[in-house]
A and B are shown apart, each in its own frame.
Chain A
């Protein structure tokens, strides 16, 4: 009986440790990423947060509403989402930017965002681009793809899993926050005439 109890107790504690390790890792990684971000801004190069990392910081995402800011990583392959939100697409001239993050860690706060809120994105050149949240959608990832060609220039998509309080890590629903660039018109500068 006691042995059983001990086993139950220790395995539960192990699970708890694993469970807590994930947000802890996410928080610690962001601290390391801050350093790498500062370095990459200073040197204007890709600098990896730790020597064996397969990703590097590409932007800083700030959500003034939540008093929150985080470092965005290039791509979402491998384990990179565990350390920070990943930029799926964008980063070139104009075009749309798509950033995905874990619902349980970095992008937990997305549920508090509402249309009209401000989101800011800082590039490696240090310039901030302000976005205004246009709307929020829940999509079924089994039946829908992101058509990057159809997104208007200056769009920012923040993607995370839905529902927020679900314990199922493989659910098909996604929570998509659509924001569009404020202020600057996303016209192509080299154009004389356009229709």
Chain B
């Protein structure tokens, strides 16, 4: 009303007809203005909703202005795996497609199988392929950075943890794709008559114990976590985790093709994680996930089972490489009668925030299944840990019906929240009073966790020191557990490792674990290779104890395929056991030398841990370079010789996120957008009003 009346008073009288016409025009103007205002009022809520819905309280990337940005790079992965015998050979093609109109560098932190030996890197730009080479880690990084600054196509892949790697790809032209092909191999798991292969596609965000060390901004590595006193490389192993909806619709998809040529008639090929399409050609199976590409939000697991009755009990493979002989042997001791000793069974369950969602439900049902196996002769306790450690009983209690009922109730109420402080929980479980009244009691710890921690090495050290005569068994939970932690913790704990893939998959693996835990099948294992001992390097040097259903695996250098391999050990009752294997039966295979080198590198690193000294860095580097392997001290780098980007064209760096594992809940929250445009609107409105008022007054003065 102010608007329409005040200007009307302004004009000076003239002829009546003109005044009327003028007044009519003014009226029309007024009406249309008000209509505009009304229209804007209608449109505003829609606009505001669309605007706010996008960046309020969700986990998002922000640019310099705090505005959400979808990563400009679209990631595509293609696994091509061939399994022959006990080795799976994989080609993993990662394509970084630049959807922006700016040059980009892509940085992607990704997992690989925990026993993977990476032996090749090829960069593909359009039609050209550039072979990568192994270099000492620091040198490779310098080569890459120099090429990046010079505007050349370059790629670099580094190992952060045995199962966690970083790929960097520099100078991806706008609108184009640069691909990086990794070649790696891994041994196939064989347990209780079933072969298994796992492909991790994402990682569970890891907890970093210790107090944060504030780093300079230039050291910011694109991860969410800041370095802590216990995990100095926290930034490098903590990529942002996002929901699948936060990346573009065709990003973070993987196509997988698997050829299983095991040399055995197979009964079935199945997967607890995905639906499969299988086609058979003689003894060769071709496997693909149903429906083509899979979302990279959970591990891809394939299991195959030989036809019952022909499960292999032994296998030998041979390879000569650069004039040297490599031999890999697998032995499956028969299932002997077990001897059940009364036990102290300690269940340790991870109730940290990373277990929230589906994982804690799986963990609870695993724990309850464990409680079912107790007999009245056993004693047990339940320990849960997150930021703190709590235990059900002060001391292990006898498994009476009453105590078990209490335990079940306790387990039902477990909620996942807080940090992952594993060390105190391990201490409580391993250090607890070890008085064994008659010495005939065995103390076993079942550790149920997703292993989402950044300080693995320190924990292995702790397990080694506190273990004593106990045994530690790990049960991996969730869509993407840290399998490296699981396997190594169990190895240092002289136990075994079991993974649960999905809620439907709880029973089978746990049954196998609990029956294996009754007692180890074979202890004190010794291996005798034929010929002189001197030239032979065989791994593992001291095989650990064997549980029911587990095979013995050896890899040796300097052994020809002649003579006999003798293995001896002790059975539960104290009886001796021995086995001879005719090495002339060896089938030829490839990749054994890499497996051997990887085992040797692992052994060297183990020795360093045991003696508390620095690992033999030079030795490991030399071994890795000789066999063309990636290791903690060697990386792959590929550089194209000609620059493609002029140095003055800017290039932005994109840290690609990984997907939140299926069924888990985000532990990291973005600060939400918590301001409105009200002050801006009010200020603008007031300024405008004051300005027009001033103009009105000014006009009035000139007219009067």
- Nearest Cβ on chain B to A143's Cβ, whole angstroms: 7
Chain B 29-45 near chain A by CB (<8 Å), digits 1 or 0: 10001001100110011
Given contacts A86-B57, A95-B418, A167-B683, contact A149 B675 (CB under 8 A): no
Chain B 135-169 near chain A by CB (<8 Å), digits 1 or 0: 00000000000000000000000000000000000
- Closest A-chain residue to B667, C-beta based? A149
Alpha-carbon distance between A25 and B67 when the two chains are bound, in angstroms? 25
Report B-chain residues with C-beta under 8 Å of the C-beta of A174: 671, 674
Given contacts A79-B52, A194-B390, contact A101 B29 (CB under 8 A): no
Instruction: Choose the segment among A3-11, A31-39, A58-66, A113-121 that binds chain B (4+ C-beta atoms closer than 8 Å).
Output: A3-11
- Nearest Cβ on chain B to A23's Cβ, whole angstroms: 6
Interface members, chain B 38-56 (any A CB < 8 Å): 40-41, 44-45, 48-49, 52-53, 56
Say whether A146 contacts B678, CB under 8 Å.
no
Alpha-carbon distance between A7 and B10 when the two chains are bound, in angstroms? 15
Given contacts A9-B3, A95-B417, A159-B674, contact A143 B220 (CB under 8 A): yes
Within 8 Å by CB of A161, from B49, B418, B675, B687, lies B675
Alpha-carbon distance between A175 and B669 when the two chains are bound, in angstroms? 15
Q: How large is the interface on A (under 10, 10 to 19, 20 to 34, 35 or more residues)?
A: 35 or more
Within 8 Å by CB of A16, from B417, B419, B681, lies B681
Interface members, chain A 11-59 (any B CB < 8 Å): 11-20, 22-23
Taking the complex as formed, is A82 at the interface, i.e. its CB lies under 8 A from any CB of chain B?
A: yes
Taking the complex as formed, is A136 at the interface, i.e. its CB lies under 8 A from any CB of chain B?
A: no
Say whether A195 contacts B389, CB under 8 Å.
yes
Chain B 17-36 near chain A by CB (<8 Å), digits 1 or 0: 00000000000010001001
Given contacts A15-B681, A171-B675, contact A141 B413 (CB under 8 A): no
Within 8 Å by CB of B53, from A16, A79, A139, A167, lies A79
- Nearest Cβ on chain B to A53's Cβ, whole angstroms: 13
Say whether A5 contacts B390, CB under 8 Å.
no
Say whether A149 contacts B352, CB under 8 Å.
yes
Say whether A194 contacts B391, CB under 8 Å.
yes
Report A-chain residues with C-beta under 8 Å of the C-beta of B387: 149-150, 152-153
Interface members, chain A 70-124 (any B CB < 8 Å): 75-79, 81-82, 86, 88-89, 92-95, 98, 100-105, 107
- Nearest Cβ on chain B to A85's Cβ, whole angstroms: 9
Taking the complex as formed, is B695 at the interface, i.e. its CB lies under 8 A from any CB of chain A?
A: yes
Question: Total interface residues on B, using CB and 8 Å?
Answer: 79
Within 8 Å by CB of B67, from A8, A76, A146, A170, lies A170
Chain B 661-704 near chain A by CB (<8 Å), digits 1 or 0: 00000011111111111111111111111011001100100000
Report B-chain residues with C-beta under 8 Å of the C-beta of A170: 65-67, 673, 675
- Nearest Cβ on chain B to A78's Cβ, whole angstroms: 5
Say whether B392 contacts A23, CB under 8 Å.
no
Alpha-carbon distance between A194 and B390 when the two chains are bound, in angstroms? 4
Say whether B689 contacts A9, CB under 8 Å.
yes
Say whether B685 contacts A13, CB under 8 Å.
yes
Report B-chain residues with C-beta under 8 Å of the C-beta of A76: 56-57, 672
Say whether A104 contacts B676, CB under 8 Å.
yes
Chain A 140-163 near chain B by CB (<8 Å), digits 1 or 0: 011111111110110000011100
Say whether B668 contacts A12, CB under 8 Å.
no
Say whether A166 contacts B667, CB under 8 Å.
no
- Nearest Cβ on chain B to A183's Cβ, whole angstroms: 20
Within 8 Å by CB of B7, from A6, A150, A153, A195, lies A6
Say whether B390 contacts A12, CB under 8 Å.
no
Say whether A2 contacts B671, CB under 8 Å.
no
Given contacts A2-B10, A14-B37, A20-B682, contact A172 B65 (CB under 8 A): yes
Taking the complex as formed, is B248 at the interface, i.e. its CB lies under 8 A from any CB of chain A?
A: no
Listed in ascending order, the chain A residues whose CB lies under 8 Å from chain B are 1-3, 5-20, 22-23, 75-79, 81-82, 86, 88-89, 92-95, 98, 100-105, 107, 139, 141-150, 152-153, 159-161, 165-172, 174, 188, 190-195
Known: A2-B11, A193-B390. 18 other contacts (CB 8 A): A5-B7, A5-B692, A8-B695, A15-B682, A19-B677, A19-B685, A22-B678, A103-B674, A146-B669, A149-B387, A150-B387, A153-B387, A159-B672, A159-B674, A169-B680, A171-B675, A194-B391, A195-B389
